[in-house]
Amino acid sequence: MNCETCQELIHDLIDGSISQTDEFTLNTHLKQCLDCDSVRQDLASIVGFCRTQRGQYEAPPNERALWLRIRNVVEAEIPGRAAATAEPRRSFIGRLMGHTWELSLPQLATSVVAIVLLVSLATVVALRRSSGYVTPVTQVAASNENDPVWQRQQQVISYWNQRVELNKVRWSPEMRATFDRNMKTIDEAVANAVEDLKRNPHDEVSEQMLNEALNDKLTLLQDFSDL
Amino acid sequence: MKTGFLTWRPSIRAAVFAVGALLALMSPFSTVQAQQKLSKRYPVAKNVRIELKNVSGTIVVESWNKDEIRLSATIESKKAHVVPRQSDQSLVVDVMSDNRGMGDVGDINFKLQVPVNSSIDLETVRGNIYVSNINSGLVRAHVSSEGDIELTNIAASHVIAQNVIGNIFFDGEFSRGGTYEFKSNKGDITIRIPGNSDFRLVAASPARRIALNDFWNNNFKSQDGRRITGDVGDGRSSVSVTNFNGQITFMRK
């Protein structure tokens, strides 16, 4: 349980409308979290006081004097705040270095997503610039050559293909035949899906089939490369 | 000097024949003796997880009424290693890792007898997988290349069966909130379930070979017969079936 949920449940606890399960969870959290426990105590004392007084409070003896005291306290705090805000202007680097980089969860998540996007873009650009190993699939699907996702997938497939080729010498003839037979089956599925997509580029079923066939191909290569 | 076989004494000729015949008879047994056999028992909790990653060979898993696993294996090659590892909640057999860099280690055929509530996670590069009478959280059977998969009398909340070439047969029931995934490139997929099953279906077959039989209803959406989506009953579990070349068939128990 997090503190936010806990503090919402504290109200129910004090009102007596909390469920048994929630109460158990809440009490477990309160034993571990001093802040929340302090909130519960404050709230309980306020509600307790209100219940005792039942809406009838004694007026202070000198109401005007009380307000004056409050105003004096508030005014006394203002110069201090003003002084704190009027600190000398610092350079950009100074401000940057002096800044405390505390991010909220959404800010942190956004930053992570931004970094991932940037890295992905950079990878795609790098892959597009590098010369790719041409697999049979790329030859079949000339229409997809400019698709960065397709290219990246082909790079990964070609990497595993090379690893398989290196290890093939150790396999028995039966294992080699099995691999070739299964690779042929998958390549046929890929080729069929690519042909269908050439005829109807927005066909969802063919897209699904192409993706699944390519994933199957990758899995086959990865599993056989371990042999 | 006469040294030909026909010139030998009859008694010596008979002895040579006898030895030859014996050797010829022994040759099949000598192949059997080259195999290793492994049989081990592991006391476990009722809901143990079993992970088996094989390279080649048949895997048979069936339940029994004991809180222990019995693992039997026939290992074709002498150089192959099988080193099961047991922890508190699981038994792991990873033939791939145990024999990495050793090339092809031949067929290893496994038979596992397990508690009925065991979670089963099986992988093999090639070979058939048979699982029967399991009632648990997971039954996964993955064949990287070719091999049939038969899952019989299964009541698991997550079932995954995948191969490239080979048939897939599922006989069992779909649990509320469960997920079921069946996928083959070249082979038939048959799903046999009770008539009152409730599930949400996504079935795809570019060959347009989907037969829902008794489970068909007018709420299904079909994309020219290649993909069919829709609910049977209240759609409480999720079923995905993909077959590139073979037939998809739903049968009522």
Q: List the structure tokens of B49.
A: 């997880």
Question: Which band of pLDDT confidence, cut at 50, 70 and 90, is reported for residue B139?
Answer: very high
What is the count of residue pairs from A and B with beta carbons less than 8 Å apart? 73
B68 close to A (CB below 8 A): no
Give the pLDDT confidence score for residue A8 in this predicted structure. Answer: 79
Give the pLDDT confidence score for residue B28 in this predicted structure. Answer: 44
Give the pLDDT confidence score for residue B67 in this predicted structure. Answer: 93
Give the pLDDT confidence score for residue A98 in this predicted structure. Answer: 52
Give the pLDDT confidence score for residue B127 in this predicted structure. Answer: 96
Give the pLDDT confidence score for residue A75 in this predicted structure. Answer: 72
Distance of CA A70 to the CA centre of its chain: 47
| Pairing between β-strand B199-204 and β-strand B227-232 as defined by DSSP bridges | antiparallel
Give the pLDDT confidence score for residue A132 in this predicted structure. Answer: 37
What is the distance in angstroms between the CA of the first residue and the CA of the last residue of chain B? 81
pTM over 0.90: no
Q: What are φ and ψ of residue B135, in 5° steps?
A: -130, 95
Query: Measured on CA atoms in the order A78, A79, A83, A86, is the torsion positive or negative?
Result: positive
Disruptive mutation site among B54, B104, B143 for chain A (greatest number of A CBs within 10 Å) = B104
Contact B135, B115 (CB under 8 A): no
Q: Is the pLDDT reported for residue B40 higher than 60? A: yes
Select from B145, B146, B244 the Cβ nearest to the Cβ of A189: B244
Select from B164, B186, B244 the Cβ nearest to the Cβ of A209: B244
3-state secondary structure of B175: strand
Q: Determine whether the interchain pair B145/A219 forms a contact, defined as Cβ–Cβ distance below 8 Å.
A: no
CA distance A164 to A157: 10
Q: Is the pLDDT reported for residue B251 higher than 60? A: yes
pLDDT per residue of chain A (227 residues) written in tens, 0 to 9:
777 787 778 888 887 788 877 887 888 888 777 788 888 888 887 777 667 666 565 565 666 667 777 777 777 666 555 444 444 455 555 555 555 556 677 787 777 888 888 877 777 666 555 433 334 443 344 446 677 877 888 888 989 999 898 888 888 899 999 999 999 999 999 999 999 999 988 898 898 899 899 999 999 999 888 88
B202 close to A (CB below 8 A): no
Give the pLDDT confidence score for residue A110 in this predicted structure. Answer: 79
| Pairing between β-strand B168-184 and β-strand B149-162 as defined by DSSP bridges | parallel
pLDDT tens for residues B163-216?
Answer: 999 999 999 999 999 999 999 999 999 999 999 999 999 999 999 999 999 999
Distance of CA B18 to the CA centre of its chain: 44
3-state secondary structure of A225: helix
Q: Is the pLDDT reported for residue B230 higher than 70? A: yes
Give the pLDDT confidence score for residue A71 in this predicted structure. Answer: 75
Higher pLDDT, residue A5 or B217: B217
CA distance A13 to A113: 39
The domains of chain A are located at: 1-55, 131-225
Query: Which residues does residue B114 pair with via DSSP β-bridges, in sequence order?
Result: B63
- Residue A17 burial by Cβ neighbours in a 10 Å radius (0-12, 13-18, 19+): exposed
Disruptive mutation site among A167, A187, A218, A226 for chain B (greatest number of B CBs within 10 Å) = A226
Question: Which band of pLDDT confidence, cut at 50, 70 and 90, is reported for residue B7?
Answer: low
